[in-house]
Amino acid sequence: MKNCLVTGGKGFIGSHLVNFLRGKGHYVRCVDVSPTSILETREHEFICGDLRQFSTAYSALQGIDWVFNLAANMGGIGYITELNAPIMRDNALINLNVLEAARILDVERIFFSSSACAYNRDLQKAEQCEPLKESDVLPAHPDSAYGWEKLFSEFVYKSFEEDYGLNVRIARFHNIYGDHCVFEGGQEKAPAALCRKVIESTDSMRIWGDGKQTRSFLYVSDCVEAVYRLMSSTFSDPVNIGTSDLISIDDLALLFQKFAGKKLRLIHDLDMPQGVRGRNADISLAKCVLNWEPTVSLDVGMKKLYDWISDQLPLV
């Protein structure tokens, strides 16, 4: 059993990972700038602190074997489109501080949560896009500051591995969703936002963009299983963690309408950000090196999300 640290452990994926690791019998320390989470976590030890400060990172990594670094300033498409400088600054500071503390304290292994936003925008111009392979990240041309920060951080992690022998694991997440997530306030992701709109609407609902943009989505329980397998493996290059089940935003809205028993008119707001035209994941490498593939289908996972959010909101 390992002494594990989950940074950002009160966030969406982090809170699920904390409980997953605890279920595996590991000692789990959690550090987050927020003292609370939507999902109740079962860590052994909690540190409330800001990882933009090196002293917080150094204190949090004391006595740790495995570091799962999920701490980040991030949100949905509206959030990452509007806030460029804070995202670049905050996330660069977090990653550099955690890495430097890991180097000084000689931790056994460190995981970094990268993103599909790191991929070249020129490969994401079609709705029925080719699934992105890990090698497609270069030549570099992310479509957002958030994507550039993730790609930069990947190179920083690999540099610490090459120069200092730090044992690094990197996953590129492709649209992770599930219960106990943010679903309002501006930092929510597309599935939660669409689900909330369906629940709160009676006649029509607003869609950002023309609704034809496509994405693939991975349920959070499959995500944390993949992260654990990657951390337990000997593979140190970036790996896609996602699915290849592509769906348009309009079709996702219609799926939530089916769950709600509603038929709402879709109003498309072309002035709002919608990101790349299409993004899909090639998970061949994850299947090969991790013996992993998703187990929760899109219909089942989105129904779980709908049921959870509907419990949080009054039905209309």
Question: How many independent structural domains does the chain possess?
Answer: 2
The CATH code of the domain that includes 252 is 3.90.25.10
Q: What angle (nearest 5°) sits at the alpha carbon of residue 246, between those of residues 239 and 192?
A: 90
pTM of the model: 0.96
CB atoms within 10 A of CB 176: 23
User: What three-state secondary structure class fits 305?
Assistant: helix
Instruction: Name the strand (E) or helix (H) holding 112.
Output: strand 109-115
> The tokens of 180 are what?
């106990």
Q: In sequence order, what are the residues at sequence separation of 6 or more whose Cβ sits closer than 8 angstroms to the Cβ of residue 79?
A: 186, 187
Q: Which residues carry out catalysis?
A: 146
Q: Helices 190-200 & 249-260, crossing angle to 10 degrees?
A: 40
Q: Residue 239, exposed/middle/buried by CB under 10 A (0-12, 13-18, 19+)?
A: buried
CB atoms within 10 A of CB 117: 26
Q: Residue 298: what pLDDT?
A: 97
Same domain, yes or no: 201 and 221: no
- Domain with 143, as residue range(s), is 3-176+217-241
Same domain, yes or no: 201 and 146: no
Same domain, yes or no: 131 and 191: no
Same domain, yes or no: 144 and 222: yes
Q: Residue 245: what pLDDT?
A: 93
Q: Residue 127: what pLDDT?
A: 94
107 vs 61: CA distance, rounded Å: 8
Contact 153, 114 (CB under 8 A): yes
**Rounded to 5 degrees, what are φ and ψ at 56?**
-65, -45
Contact 244, 283 (CB under 8 A): yes
Same domain, yes or no: 102 and 145: yes
The CATH code of the domain that includes 160 is 3.40.50.720
How would you write the pLDDT of the chain (316 residues) with one tens digit per residue? 999 999 999 999 999 999 999 999 999 999 999 999 999 999 999 999 999 999 999 999 999 999 999 999 988 888 888 889 999 999 999 999 999 999 999 999 999 999 999 999 999 999 999 999 999 999 999 999 999 999 999 999 999 999 999 999 999 999 999 999 999 888 899 999 999 999 999 999 999 999 999 999 999 999 999 999 999 999 999 999 999 999 999 999 999 999 999 999 999 999 999 899 999 999 999 999 999 999 999 999 999 999 999 999 976 5
Same domain, yes or no: 100 and 184: no
Same domain, yes or no: 202 and 115: no
